[in-house]
């Protein structure tokens, strides 16, 4: 199985170039396309219609799409053992997050009009391929300078100029995918760690008050230590973080999570 992850800021042209790449690969692979986004997307339907391949969407809701993808990836692989190519597109809202894995191919679709590459974090620096979009909007000299700046940020990257309208560059990316590594093991490893900061705002505090935010963080931290981080849905919520916020908002009791209930019972028995 090959795992390919496309990442890039909104509007960079990810879905448009992915459409051309899939059309060049679908005859050679049993292919699945998955789009990760925040609240809603129809990109999965667009790809299914234009490319005639299986597709689905997974919405992160209150989570960062890249974080949610990392949580879901092993589950996706278990569910789709029959596929030999899974192409994932993530919304890429945070320049600090990096969704790429060592066991797959990471492709950053980079809008040449979106500013200097040195302002991008792991979403660029950890990519195997940088697909530069909208190159027709600037001069050749500016394109060469941009290329040099990309290599300053990521010296190992393969750079491909792409055009989502014409399909330019899609053949090159398709070839890189064809000859990329296959995932055959059980362990997946992120190329770069996700941000680790958690605060009361992350746990749903909406009042701008240092004391309230700190107290909310402490309560959330205690509950975070009890939940399994499996996002199993048995509590009635999509993710463990969503469940924590609901508990802190007094919408549900913490024992609604069977794992928390068992841990609290074990602690009580120990006493």
The pTM assigned to this predicted structure is 0.82
- Label each residue of 31-71 as H, E or C: EEEEEEECCCCCHHHHHHHHHCCEEEEEECCCCCHHHHHHH
pLDDT by 10s per residue, the chain, length 271: 999 999 998 889 999 999 999 999 999 999 999 999 988 899 999 999 999 999 999 998 877 888 888 888 988 999 999 999 999 999 877 777 888 999 999 999 999 998 889 888 899 999 999 999 999 999 999 999 999 999 999 999 999 999 999 999 999 999 999 999 998 877 889 998 887 777 888 888 888 888 999 999 999 999 999 998 888 889 999 888 889 999 999 999 999 999 999 999 888 887 6
By DSSP bridging, strand 105-111 and strand 2-7 are: parallel
Partnered with residue 133 across adjacent β-strands are 111, 162
| CATH class of residue range 210-270 | mainly alpha
Which pLDDT score is estimated for 271?
67
Name the CATH architecture for the domain at 2-178. 3-Layer(aba) Sandwich (3.40)
The boundaries of every CATH 3.40.50.300 domain in the chain are 2-178
Q: Is 82 helix (H, G, I), strand (E, B) or coil?
A: coil
Enter the DSSP assignment of 182: P
The boundaries of every CATH 1.10.15 domain in the chain are 210-270
Which pLDDT score is estimated for 184?
86
Which pLDDT score is estimated for 207?
87
Token pair 């393969």: residue: 158
């Amino acid at each position: 199985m090959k795992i390919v992850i496309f990442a890039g800021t909104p509007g960079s042209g990810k879905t448009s170039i992915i459409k051309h790449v899939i059309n060049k690969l679908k005859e050679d692979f049993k292919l699945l396309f998955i789009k990760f986004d925040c609240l809603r997307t129809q990109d999965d339907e667009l790809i299914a219609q234009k490319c005639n391949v299986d597709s689905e969407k997974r919405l992160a809701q209150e989570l960062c799409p890249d974080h949610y993808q990392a949580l879901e990836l092993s589950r996706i692989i278990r569910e789709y053992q029959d596929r030999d190519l899974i192409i994932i597109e993530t919304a890429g809202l945070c320049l600090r997050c990096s969704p790429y894995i060592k066991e797959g191919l990471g492709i950053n679709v980079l809008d040449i009009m979106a500013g200097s590459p040195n302002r991008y974090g792991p979403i660029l620096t950890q990519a195997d391929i940088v697909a530069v979009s909208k190159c027709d909007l600037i001069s050749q000299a500016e394109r060469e300078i941009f290329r040099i700046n990309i290599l300053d940020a990521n010296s190992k990257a393969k750079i491909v100029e792409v055009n989502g309208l014409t399909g330019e560059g899609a053949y090159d990316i398709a070839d890189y995918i064809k000859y990329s590594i296959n995932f055959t093991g059980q362990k997946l490893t992120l190329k770069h760690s996700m941000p680790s900061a958690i605060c009361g705002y992350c746990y749903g505090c909406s009042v701008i008050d240092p004391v309230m935010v700190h107290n909310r963080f402490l309560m959330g931290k205690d509950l975070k230590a009890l939940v399994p981080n499996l996002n199993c849905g048995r509590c009635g919520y999509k993710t463990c973080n969503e469940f924590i916020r609901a508990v802190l908002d007094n919408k549900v009791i913490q024992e609604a999570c069977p794992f928390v209930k068992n841990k609290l019972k074990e602690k009580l028995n120990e006493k």
